[in-house]
Amino acid sequence: MILAWKAALIIFTGLISLEIGAAEAAEKTVFPAPGGQETILSIHGATDLAAMDPLIRDFQELSPTVTVEYNEYLTNELFNRAASECDAKQGTMDLVLSSSADHMVKLVNDGCALNYRSAMTRRLPSWTRWRDEVFGFTFEPAVIVYNRDLVPSEDVRRTRAELIDLLRTKPEQYNGKIGSFDISQSGVGYLFASYDAHGTTTFGRLLEAFGRAGLVAGCCTTDLVSDLASGRLAIGYNLIGSYAVGAVRRGAHLAIVIPRDYTVVLSRVVFIPRFSRNPVSAFRFLDYLLSERGQKKSREASFFFSFEGTLPEEVDGPLWLASSGLLRPITIGPELLAVQDRAKRQRFLSEWRRSTHIEPEDR
């Protein structure tokens, strides 16, 4: 009996260890309450810590007794974790935010979010909110990024057709030097690609050009921008504009181009899980993100673009993007559920792999 009990204890301890390991898959950063802790807000996000840091610290100036735990994931990992907690009807997430809007809409549609309405949420553009449960708080164009040391100014292209022509006419110069999302790993990469494919004949030709050029596929904008800054890559396609601007402001020698044929724009999305342990602080943080103060801090220190469509000085594009006629905003709503359709997803991934010659085992 004693041996059996010990064996059971070992198995039980092992299961606990597995649970702890799964819970700690994200990278956690703790921001202690500057005024002495009264409560803890647990934020789980697929957004770089560098972008969230100034927002969290500014929020704590308004709420100095709130300790904030920021848990950082890749988009697909965050979706799986949030879905698991929603299914279990309990968890550790007080607030969830991600650039992968289709993931967040799927979770909300599955009944994972609390309803919330305030003066801040009501003033959002209509394409950035749905059912008073999921809200967009940033303006994020998909951009083309060039390493200025590897791409001469005459090779900087501003439309997809021009980019295809560049890769066709100068294969020896750019072979193996163009990068974009691995859309089988990245939720936002998949979202951008699916909107690229919708209603345009250019996308198929672009994929074929990438395949001939030996596309380098990465998990996330941060890694791809880092490879561009180091010279491992010369051109980055469909990258999140704010991360590229941040890299330039840190000294990277990059050119950032708003595509002139059309520009896909997403809004980074936030919702409060139904089983949040601290919804009061979560709603307070949500209102902060949407407030004039939060939007100003975001524009100055985190995400650099605004809903008004004005561009940072580091970006080559129309001065007022919102009125340029180039925008294809990704509307936050039920139409994004089609992006999550399993059969459509598999067909799309198969076509992407066939054209780019990137197989699952290469990841």
Cβ(303)–Cβ(295) below 8 Å: no
318 against 302, higher pLDDT: 302
Geometric angle at alpha carbon 13, from 8 and 15, rounded to 5° = 95
Report the pLDDT value the prediction gives residue 340, as an integer from 0 to 100. 78
Residue extents of the structural domains in the chain: 2-138+267-290, 140-266+311-356
Q: Which CATH superfamily is domain 2-138+267-290 in?
A: Periplasmic binding protein-like II (3.40.190.10)
**Tens digits of residue pLDDT in 119-146:** 999 999 999 999 999 999 999 999 999 9
The answer to whether the Cα torsion of 347, 351, 328, 237 is positive or negative is positive
| pLDDT tens track for 173-206 | 999 999 999 998 888 899 999 999 986 788 999 9
To the nearest whole number, what is the mean pLDDT of the chain? 90
CA–CA gap between residue 270 and residue 134 (Å, rounded): 6
Residues 6+ apart with CB under 8 A from 223: none
The topology (CATH level 3) of 140-266+311-356 is D-Maltodextrin-Binding Protein; domain 2 (3.40.190)
Span 227-285, pLDDT tens digits: 999 999 999 999 999 999 999 999 999 999 999 999 999 999 999 999 999 999 999 99
CA distances from 328 to 196, 200, 323, 350 (A): 10, 12, 12, 25
Residue 106: pLDDT over 90: yes
Predicted local confidence at residue 16, as pLDDT: 32
Q: What is the pLDDT of residue 339?
A: 83
pLDDT for 14: 37
Query: Packing angle between helix 221-230 and helix 241-249, nearest 10 degrees?
Result: 40
Q: Judging by beta carbons within 10 Å of its beta carbon (0-12, 13-18, 19+), is residue 247 exposed, middle or buried?
A: buried
* Predicted TM-score (pTM) of this structure: 0.86
What mean pLDDT do residues 331-359 have? 90
